[in-house]
Structure 1
């Protein structure tokens, strides 16, 4: 199995560690998942923790980068290779990532702001439109405890 590199951001790496130690138990009032992308430059597997919303059987995440004026690395990685791995709780599955269309974005953005109100403030901080990403399930392998 290839080595997976966790986010170099200390607070994200700590969040990933906590996610793994608790078997993916969500934080109170927040739904979290782990997203693994392939580095667009290195080719290495990169993992980050993200807040998600649900749209039917799809998972929805926001590439907020905490309101920075540049997209997060994980988002740039999935633009180069949309095949990703997602872990929600103890379930891990492959998915295809895609940016929400202009028609989909307003509804899905509201969904994400309801999941984490800070996203509204992040959007105010930056001149870029924060992308909303859909993670569409390809296959599932549930890890039973």
Structure 2
């Protein structure tokens, strides 16, 4: 069985959930991963996503980068339609409300995220889309 460090997408989510993050919480380059649960805006089905995060003032931050693609990730479009999400950090799964960081908040939050994943700065250079920092607040 390979380490979750080598996994992406659904296999990463599955391993994380099976082990309550024991395998999958710690990822590449010292990053930490949470699982975001959203509802498909068309299907209504639960969707799961393994995302790099950082804690900031009691909230969880994630970046809707999609590697610098011009279109945002599907999970971001889903939470714009319904900001009521669930988050799992290790074995702790809880309801949360998602929102985009305000223009005043974003610089500090972006810097905090780019500190652990410097590629975010490169992703922003690749697209004209302003890549948002998403704030997940425990409900």
| TM-score between both structures, scaled by the size of structure 2 | 0.87
CA-based RMSD: 1.4
| Corresponding position of 1:105 | 106
C-alpha deviation, 1:34, in angstroms: 0.3
Task: Identify which of 13, 20, 23 aligns with 1:23.
Answer: 20
Unpaired segments ≥5 residues, structure 2 = 1-6
| TM-score between both structures, scaled by the size of structure 1 | 0.84
Unpaired segments ≥5 residues, structure 1 = 1-9, 139-145
SS of corresponding position for 2:87: strand
What number of residue pairs does the alignment pair up?
Answer: 129
Aligned pairs for 1:53-132 (under 5 A) are 53-132=54-133
Could you give the per-residue CA deviations for residues 92-131 of structure 1, whole angstroms, max 9, x where no partner exists?
Answer: 0000000001111111100110121111111111111111
| Larger helix fraction of residues | 2
SS of corresponding position for 1:52: strand
SS of corresponding position for 2:94: strand
